[in-house]
Chains A and B, each alone.
Chain A
């Protein structure tokens, strides 16, 4: 208790925390004094050595990690909890949503999902002129960034071309905010090139949006899905109780033999240990803290337990594969050499089959199983690559990169993000980026995310921060955005700023045979 008291004192006295960050840290400390959901000694040991990681979700789950309220239903029926009638015009609709966002929990303390803002607001936009629409959405966007200062807060657009969607993209280019994170859902048959070009211009300005494969998502999750936080795709009106991740690199380190033996024995055991931790957490949330019985969102039908599942994350695929190859006497590397890359595909396929065969409680949103997720890393990861990505700094040229990672994507219904880095010359040819997006989706990629050298924005594990905000944090020790603090850790630990630029050799500027 003395230790807890001294940590509480340190938080209370810290000069580096805003009021809200201080409250959140104190709440987490209080939660830590409770016993974590009980697991076997073997699972506890797996957590302790970092084989299984619960992402510090806390000892006593009292809200789902990710929650996607059905905002369309809320707008249609009004809310007794919020004491708001169904909105009648654009101003009321935006006010309704902003009020509702403030009452939506998630693991970060802020809502990770803001809804399909274009679909939600387009009907209300019909009766206002362009200038009014822009003014109202500008206020909405500024209030979101200032009152929900967390880059995991995520809005969705598309797949159809709308006035609201176009206005949001224009505002993004103008405001240059890190919040909200933004996804454009792309359907080859519904999303026109004009909208994609507008979105690409927005990427050039601020690194957003992220692009997802709408038909593929619909096939896995149904029409009503959303992309939240760092590219977690889940059902609207549902969400994910928890995200627990398995460190594949650590799994291989803890195994003495070769590939076949690891796939047959150690990997299945480690998948089961991860699932055990998930079961304990889910049961605690649903049966002990009884979130779905007391939350206003559940009571008003805006989320329902049967649309929930949990997320089974994996990371460190690159190191796992490279270690296995080295043990077999090889030097091939994941993402660079065909055989090693193919071994990576096989590992993912094996994990996917194991997870699909592992029942979990209260996961009716996915047939009683977890959604597989390629987990995009956290700030404290050192020496282990996010998800199924190719290690930062080693990425091959763009064409090879995309062909190497695309086959993994079909397995990750709840998201996978491979970040593609472009140099500035592409800004003169935005159609080239549209081509890459369309090609990625056509070849089975679930999503495509870009980083561009020339703007102030950088993708860390999946969320965005401004380089200038990081510099200010380094200087003053204080940031309004909680995610900036995580990002500073990521930059220090994993060299994300070294991500290899996809420098396409130019017939006008580079010697071609120099490679």
Chain B
């Protein structure tokens, strides 16, 4: 069997916003959610002329000369788990190459992955950063076009297996910024992902589709309020707001 190839939207050789330390990030093309607030909508289609195919060896070769400068790599998207065989092969190659073996391997995911996918990826991954778009199904559907069953199942499993390193809450004014919903989200995370850091991200219109461009950007005070509601459940030390 020939090694799996990936469909790549882009790479960022040095990123300090995709996990701990300085990280090489591969953004894979294609997503299984249809988020109104996505700031990289061009990474959503499963195929596009802007994406390019990449082999495991090629992507490994891009990391090797930079390894000394990195804490690790992160695979993001799009939704990286849609290309799980490729991610697994890349992670395996990184693990087995002495030049890159010390790097941590993180996955940035929307959580819409089956147990089989996690079975494949988790033994090779050091951590997962998960987006939780909304706790309520109706709100989740409004924001993403899908329900959140699978997201919650993934979140709980990752937390149980000690692989959940960060939960990200993108708060969109008028849609998922209600006090009740955010407080319940905090309580839910306190129960199912205790001790896991939570990042509350205020919506920014930069890069989003036309349909979302008129949504207002929350003020710093509003963002602080969102964070406080979540923190009521998980504790203030675990909540960061950006």
Asked if B207 contacts A399 (CB within 8 A), the reply is no
Which one, B17-25, B148-156, B180-188, is touching chain A? B17-25
Let me know if B68 is at the binding interface, CB within 8 A: yes
Complex interface bits, A486-511 against B, C-beta within 8 A gives 1, otherwise 0: 00000000000000001011111111
Asked if A507 contacts B108 (CB within 8 A), the reply is yes
Q: In the assembly, what is the distance between CA of A436 and CA of B71, in Å?
A: 9
For residue A398, which residues in chain B have a CB less than 8 angstroms away from its CB? Answer: 13-14
Closest Cβ neighbor of B201 among chain A residues:
A508
Given contacts A507-B17, A507-B25, A511-B207, contact A438 B68 (CB under 8 A): yes
- Identify B16's interface contact among A397, A403, A429, A513, CB under 8 A: A429
Asked if A513 contacts B68 (CB within 8 A), the reply is no
Let me know if B120 is at the binding interface, CB within 8 A: no
Closest Cβ neighbor of A515 among chain B residues:
B10
Closest CB of chain B to A391's CB: distance in Å? 21
Asked if A435 contacts B21 (CB within 8 A), the reply is yes
Which one, B36-44, B83-91, B225-233, is touching chain A? B36-44
Q: In the assembly, what is the distance between CA of A216 and CA of B66, in Å?
A: 20
Number of chain A residues close to chain B: CB under 8 A: 33
Q: In the assembly, what is the distance between CA of A505 and CA of B43, in Å?
A: 15
Given contacts A398-B14, A429-B20, A504-B14, contact A509 B204 (CB under 8 A): yes
Asked if A504 contacts B20 (CB within 8 A), the reply is no
Given contacts A435-B22, A436-B22, contact A512 B40 (CB under 8 A): yes
For residue B69, which residues in chain A have a CB less than 8 angstroms away from its CB? Answer: 399, 402, 435-436, 438-440, 443
Interface size band for B: 20 to 34
For residue A403, which residues in chain B have a CB less than 8 angstroms away from its CB? Answer: 65-66
Let me know if B9 is at the binding interface, CB within 8 A: yes
Let me know if A120 is at the binding interface, CB within 8 A: no
For residue B176, which residues in chain A have a CB less than 8 angstroms away from its CB? Answer: none
Closest Cβ neighbor of A431 among chain B residues:
B21
* Main SS class of interface, B: mixed
- Identify A432's interface contact among B22, B66, B76, CB under 8 A: B22
* Main SS class of interface, A: helix
Asked if B13 contacts A399 (CB within 8 A), the reply is yes
Q: In the assembly, what is the distance between CA of A173 and CA of B31, in Å?
A: 45
Given contacts A439-B69, A512-B43, A513-B50, contact A507 B14 (CB under 8 A): no
Asked if B21 contacts A434 (CB within 8 A), the reply is yes
Closest CB of chain A to B24's CB: distance in Å? 9
Let me know if B210 is at the binding interface, CB within 8 A: no
Asked if B40 contacts A431 (CB within 8 A), the reply is no
Closest CB of chain A to B13's CB: distance in Å? 4
Closest CB of chain A to B239's CB: distance in Å? 14
For residue B13, which residues in chain A have a CB less than 8 angstroms away from its CB? Answer: 397-400
Within 8 A of A (CB), among B205-226: 206-207
For residue A515, which residues in chain B have a CB less than 8 angstroms away from its CB? Answer: 10
Closest Cβ neighbor of A438 among chain B residues:
B68
For residue A442, which residues in chain B have a CB less than 8 angstroms away from its CB? Answer: 68
For residue A436, which residues in chain B have a CB less than 8 angstroms away from its CB? Answer: 14, 22, 69
Q: In the assembly, what is the distance between CA of A509 and CA of B39, in Å?
A: 7
Q: In the assembly, what is the distance between CA of A434 and CA of B69, in Å?
A: 9
Let me know if B70 is at the binding interface, CB within 8 A: yes
Asked if A511 contacts B40 (CB within 8 A), the reply is yes
For residue A397, which residues in chain B have a CB less than 8 angstroms away from its CB? Answer: 13-14
For residue A428, which residues in chain B have a CB less than 8 angstroms away from its CB? Answer: 16-17, 242
Let me know if A224 is at the binding interface, CB within 8 A: no
Closest CB of chain A to B88's CB: distance in Å? 21
Given contacts A431-B21, A432-B22, contact A512 B16 (CB under 8 A): no
For residue B71, which residues in chain A have a CB less than 8 angstroms away from its CB? Answer: 431-432, 435
Q: In the assembly, what is the distance between CA of A489 and CA of B13, in Å?
A: 36
Asked if B17 contacts A425 (CB within 8 A), the reply is yes
For residue B1, which residues in chain A have a CB less than 8 angstroms away from its CB? Answer: none
Closest CB of chain B to A404's CB: distance in Å? 12
Asked if A432 contacts B40 (CB within 8 A), the reply is no
Q: In the assembly, what is the distance between CA of A505 and CA of B17, in Å?
A: 9
Asked if A429 contacts B66 (CB within 8 A), the reply is no
**Most chain B CB neighbours (cut-off 10 Å) among A433, A504, A507, A513:** A507
Asked if B15 contacts A443 (CB within 8 A), the reply is no
Asked if B16 contacts A425 (CB within 8 A), the reply is yes
Q: In the assembly, what is the distance between CA of A399 and CA of B64, in Å?
A: 12
Asked if A513 contacts B76 (CB within 8 A), the reply is no
Within 8 A of A (CB), among B37-58: 39-40, 42-43, 50
Closest Cβ neighbor of B65 among chain A residues:
A403
Asked if B70 contacts A426 (CB within 8 A), the reply is no
Within 8 A of A (CB), among B86-114: 108
Asked if B70 contacts A435 (CB within 8 A), the reply is yes
For residue A505, which residues in chain B have a CB less than 8 angstroms away from its CB? Answer: 12, 15
Closest Cβ neighbor of A441 among chain B residues:
B68
**Most chain A CB neighbours (cut-off 10 Å) among B40, B68, B70, B71:** B68
Asked if B15 contacts A506 (CB within 8 A), the reply is yes
**For the complex of A and B, 7 pairs with smallest distance between CB atoms:** A439-B69, A432-B16, A435-B22, A399-B13, A432-B22, A429-B16, A439-B68
Pairs across A and B, CB under 8 Å, 12 listed:
A398-B14, A403-B66, A428-B16, A429-B22, A434-B21, A505-B15, A507-B27, A508-B17, A510-B206, A511-B207, A513-B9, A515-B10
Known: A434-B21, A508-B242. 13 other contacts (CB 8 A): A399-B14, A432-B21, A438-B68, A439-B69, A442-B68, A507-B12, A507-B27, A507-B76, A508-B39, A509-B206, A511-B206, A511-B207, A512-B27
